[in-house]
Chain A
Amino acid sequence: MSEAGTLETASTHDLTARTPGARLFSLFGSSFAVGIILPLVTAIAYEGAFRAGLVQGRLLPPPSKILATLWELARSGELLTHVIATLARVLAGFGLGALIGMWLGALTGASRAARRLLDPTLQALRAIPSLAWVPLFILWLGIFESSKVALIAVGVFFPVYLGVMAAIANVDRKIVEVGRAFRLSRLSLVRRVLLPAILPDFIIAIRSGLGLGFMFVVAAEIMGASEGLGYLLVDGQQLGKPAQILAAIIAFAVLGKLGDWLIVIGARPFLSWQDSHSRTQ
């Protein structure tokens, strides 16, 4: 009886016209509006101080100067060239690292034997600061694209590997048993139980992988490149153009955020079943 009593009240709740899109927008809108206050106020204050002659703005140019530089780079088409070069490196390295990380993570997560064989070696390799590989990669692969892509791939590999391995090892055995009780074949067990079960952790692993991909593309481009946002950084430093450095930094921030956002948006339809508290993180 107590069950039946809650039925009507419960069914009206939560089924009110909140489409996922609208909920997303309001969530994004409100947190974005609050989050932007601090940087915006700081920028306006600094701009004001510059205009009033309180600061010189030679080492830290005012926002208007940075935006003008960014605009100039964009208008001349130079920005696009550098963005494309950087993105191509990140995508190649990310694709390579994520793919290998995924497969090795799946292998070690699913098989104890594979974990005992491979994981200690991979953990030892992980303890090496990734930048230490650079001289070796340059010796092996030359100073052009291959060594840069390899460095990025190494950076992306570890978080993806670790995340996928943990996700698979932590799949609830009780849920897998439901699949067995319903006589799923091995393939459908993977498709209908294992993959959906690891998806949330997999998305997190991919996101941290992409983040590291952007971190390592900067390192790779700073060490020698004729184009790319990292090149803009070095160029700005050598020619004493702080506005250009800051413009490149802003471009990096926007690209990184955009990539992360694309993953989140792409995964959202598959994760709508999760508790709402994890949506806001």
Chain B
Amino acid sequence: MLTLDHLCKTYPNGTQALDHVSLCVNAGEIVALVGGSGCGKTTLLRLICGLEMPSAGAVAIDGETIAAPHPAVGIVFQEPRLLPWLTVAQNIAFGLDHLPKGERDQRVDEALLRVGLSGYGPRWPRELSGGQAQRVAIVRALVANPKALLLDEPFSALDALTRASLQDHLLALWDAHRPTLVLVTHDVEEAVALADRAIVLQPRPGRIFADIPLDLPRPRDRLSPEFAEAKRVVLNALDGSLTQPNPAGGNKATQAAGWW
């Protein structure tokens, strides 16, 4: 279980990016973080994976506090960030240095197969499309079998068609080992298509505005009325988070966040 306990982050320049964010994510759960630009989504992920230290509060995975990058937590950035001097296969194996070569190669081949890129191992990153590169970035984080995988708007730079196909790829990958997923997105449809829960954040300073369960059956039918209804609820909360500065105001969306 991933626990965020009253996380606060104030940057050295005085920007208060997060203010007392508390959240529990069960093992294997998929959580979508939704919120307007600048409400601290990236900051939150960077705190969870130990690239940044909280000003107050703590992050723990299965009771173990995270104070630096941790093997149990993997991250996929907004850009693929593949190392251009390594082939696709070498990029995927980047975090597997501790394994014997045989097992490493086997894991890389399996990973490539699962994202539909078998045969792409010897290529250079510059020879990949944006969608292919992001798939490689996702499996690079996943081959190390982390307990939790964080994704920061991983598909935002892609066209709608590629994005939908990558969302399916991501679900298929998740299904193999069922890690906890924390997915930052500004796309409400993406949140409803993938997540068990949508957490809506509110800006200045970043706080949790609403925690909306999304218990639609899987696989999800994007055309079903339930899907549309869930989208509407999340969208409403998102609107509320942007128009209403004070979370104690008590409209419908904040009641959903009442546990907090």
* Interfacial residues, chain A to chain B (CB-CB below 8 A): 1-4, 6-7, 10-11, 14, 174-175, 177-178, 180-183, 188, 192-193, 196-197, 199, 270, 273-275
Max count, chain B CB within 10 A of own CB: residue among A14, A178, A273, A274: A178
Query: B132 to A183, Cβ gap below 8 A?
Result: no
Q: Contact check: which of B69, B71, B85 meets A196 at CB < 8 Å? A: B85
Stretch at the interface among B9-17, B27-35, B74-82, B232-240: B74-82
Tell me, yes or no, whether B1 is within 8 Å of chain A by CB.
no
Q: For residue A4, which residues in chain B have a CB less than 8 angstroms away from its CB?
A: 116, 165
Closest to B68 in A: A183
Tell me, yes or no, whether B162 is within 8 Å of chain A by CB.
yes
* Interfacial residues, chain B to chain A (CB-CB below 8 A): 49, 51, 68-71, 74-75, 77, 79, 81, 83-87, 94-95, 97, 116-117, 119-120, 124-127, 129, 131-132, 135, 161-162, 165-166
Evaluate whether A7 and B116 lie within 8 angstroms (CB atoms) in the complex, with A182-B69, A273-B84 already known. Answer: yes
Query: A6 to B165, Cβ gap below 8 A?
Result: no
Q: Contact check: which of A6, A7, A178, A188 meets B81 at CB < 8 Å? A: A178
Query: A180 to B83, Cβ gap below 8 A?
Result: no
Max count, chain A CB within 10 A of own CB: residue among B49, B84, B125: B84
Query: A183 to B69, Cβ gap below 8 A?
Result: yes
Q: Contact check: which of A3, A180, A274 meets B51 at CB < 8 Å? A: A180
Closest to B131 in A: A3
Q: How far is the CB of B73 from chain A (nearest CB, A)?
A: 9
Q: For residue B127, which residues in chain A have a CB less than 8 angstroms away from its CB?
A: 10, 14
List 5 tightest A-B contacts by C-beta distance, closest first.
Answer: A182-B95, A196-B85, A273-B85, A183-B69, A273-B124
Q: For residue B81, which residues in chain A have a CB less than 8 angstroms away from its CB?
A: 174-175, 177-178
Considering the chains assembled together, what is the distance between the CA atoms of A10 and B133 in angstroms? 14
Query: A175 to B116, Cβ gap below 8 A?
Result: no
Evaluate whether A196 and B165 lie within 8 angstroms (CB atoms) in the complex, with A6-B129, A182-B94, A183-B69 already known. Answer: no
Evaluate whether A3 and B165 lie within 8 angstroms (CB atoms) in the complex, with A178-B83, A193-B83 already known. Answer: yes
Query: B84 to A3, Cβ gap below 8 A?
Result: no
Considering the chains assembled together, what is the distance between the CA atoms of A153 and B130 in angstroms? 46
Q: How far is the CB of A188 from chain B (nearest CB, A)?
A: 8
